[in-house]
Amino acid sequence: MTLQRASLRPPRISDDAPAEDGKRLNELAKSSGFGISGGPSGQEADRVGEGARSVLLPAQPRMSLRDRRPPKETRSFNFNCKMKPRIKDKIDEICIARGVSQADVIEMLIEHYDLKA
Amino acid sequence: MAAFIIACASSKGGCGKTTLAVAIAGVYASNGSSVLLVDADSRKRLQEEWYNPETLSPKIKVISSRVEDVETDVSKNRDVFDVIIIDVEGSANWALAQALQVAHFSLVPSNVSFQDLKDAQKVYNYVESINKESKRYRHCWIVWNRVPTAIRSKEMKATMDEAVTSGLPILTTIHERDAYKAMFSYQTTLDKLREDEAVPSAGKAEQEIAILISAMHEKLEAQAA
């Protein structure tokens, strides 16, 4: 897959963006724990109550690895064989385009095969 | 028209902000855009470890910015460059807050680990809280980084699934490739690594960064519509 050059040109951003209330946003940053001297160990307020649902609530005990295991049918599997370079390249191309692993591609192929059968 | 401003942002170190910033800058520059990289990391990794005018496209410039000057430095250059990419250090400092405020699009690289994901979630939640207070919408998307090209472990799959279940917006996946590391050892960009055939994975890396850039543009267009 080759992307068109035009699609890699940055979008045109209008100059007449709405005026921001910088002071209010700065207050928000301060109240969220951002500081001038953050440093690598800087503290950030735990704002888990807003936006996306928390991945792990603070009081929630961490699930064991066994509990976090995906169902058996979705687990990774080992697929080991020699491929022609052009097939390997094609699989890589699909992986990049779809953001999936090689294992996922093989799973898709099997689904396709099952549909055809 | 003003520059398209991207923040490579996270309050966690080691998740690939600088690498992502450099890779994106290279793809934009190789497609004809002028790019300013704002190095807001106090260690100045971009300026001191990567930037080399002799090996890089003249379309790429790097400036170092102090934590408190990020907004001013971006404002001064927004009419000069096509794209401005801000690279912050892995810390919840003022530079990160300013970068998230001024950017049109924030990219939060996250390794597929619970720790990284929690941190990415904090950044996303903060941008959402800015959006509630502001008249301008800011995009904030998570980018899975250093994902193995072949098999993913069950822990990885579980973490990726949980991110989706939690409603975190995932833009694309960047895979673990030598080409990303080679950008620093050769002080160059992916297009040059590909042309010189220096690293076999350079072409693939360049292609996935191009897909990431196109995905950003699509999200902006969709929001504008």
User: How is chain B split into domains, by residue range?
Assistant: 4-224
The model's pTM is 0.77
Interface contact B121-A12, CB threshold 8 A = no
* Three-point CA angle A74, A79, A81, nearest 5°: 165
Which chain B residues contact residue A55 at CB under 8 A?
A: 114, 117-118, 121, 162-163, 166, 168
Position A50 pLDDT exceeds 70: no
Task: Tell whether A98 is covered by a domain.
Answer: yes
Asked if pLDDT for residue B71 goes beyond 50, the answer is yes
- Structure-token pair, residue B192: 């040059």
Q: Is residue A22 part of a domain?
A: no
Outline where DSSP puts E strands in B9-65.
Answer: 35-40, 60-64
CB–CB of A76 and B167 under 8 A?
Answer: no
- Tell whether A7 lies on the interface with B, counting CB pairs under 8 A: yes
Partner-chain contact A39 B11, CB within 8 Å: no
Residue carrying structure tokens 């690598």:
A40
Q: In this complex, do B1 and A24 lie within 8 Å of one another by their Cβ atoms?
A: no
Q: Which of B172, B106, B120 is nearest to B144 (CA)?
A: B172
Statement: residue A61 has pLDDT above 80 = no
Which residues in B lie closer than 8 A to residue A78 (C-beta atoms)?
Answer: 151
Inside any domain, residue A85 = yes
**Run of H or E including B146:** strand B139-147
- Please state, in angstroms and rounded to a whole number, the distance separating the CA atoms of residues A109 and B37: 42
pLDDT score for A66: 59
pLDDT of residue B147: 92
Q: Are residues B94 and A38, on separate chains, in Cβ contact within 8 Å?
A: yes
The count of C-alpha atoms lying within 13 angstroms of the C-alpha of A112, restricted to the half-sphere facing its C-beta, is: 6
In this complex, the residue of B2, B163, B207 whose CB is nearest that of residue A13 is B2
CB B4 within 8 A of CB B107: no
Can you give the pLDDT at residue A44? Answer: 43
Rounded distance, CA B105 to CA B37, Å? 15
**Calpha distance B16→B204 (Å, rounded):** 18
Higher pLDDT, A58 or A8: A8
d(CA B65, CA B184): 20
pLDDT at site A14: 76
**Highest mean pLDDT: which of A23-27, A91-95, B4-8, B63-67?**
B4-8
| Residue A68 lies inside a defined structural domain of this protein | no
Domain residue limits at A84: 80-117
The mean per-residue pLDDT over the stretch B53-77 comes to: 91
CATH number among 3.90.1300.10, 3.40.50.300, 3.30.70.2740, 3.40.630.30, domain B4-224:
3.40.50.300
Q: Is position A49 within any domain?
A: no
Interval A1-46: pLDDT, tens? 445 556 788 887 876 666 667 778 888 888 877 766 544 433 444 4
List residues bridging with B88 in a β-sheet: B40
Whether A85 has its CB under 8 Å from any CB of chain B: the answer is no
Specify the pLDDT at position A71.
55
Q: Do B153 and A1 touch (CB under 8 A)?
A: no
Q: How many domains does chain A have?
A: 1
Mean pLDDT is lowest, of A19-23, B53-57, B169-173, for A19-23
Cα-based angle A78, A81, A86 (whole degrees, multiple of 5): 120
- Structure-model confidence comparison of residues B55 and A61, the more confident one: B55
Tally the C-alpha atoms within 13 A of residue A51's C-alpha that lie toward its C-beta.
24
pLDDT at B100 over 70: yes
Quote the ipTM score. 0.72
- For B10-44, the pLDDT digits (tens) are 988 889 999 999 999 999 999 999 999 999 988 88
Q: Which amino acid is at B150?
A: A
Which residue do the tokens 């939690």 mark?
B166
pLDDT for A48 equals 38
Average pLDDT value for residue range B118-145: 91
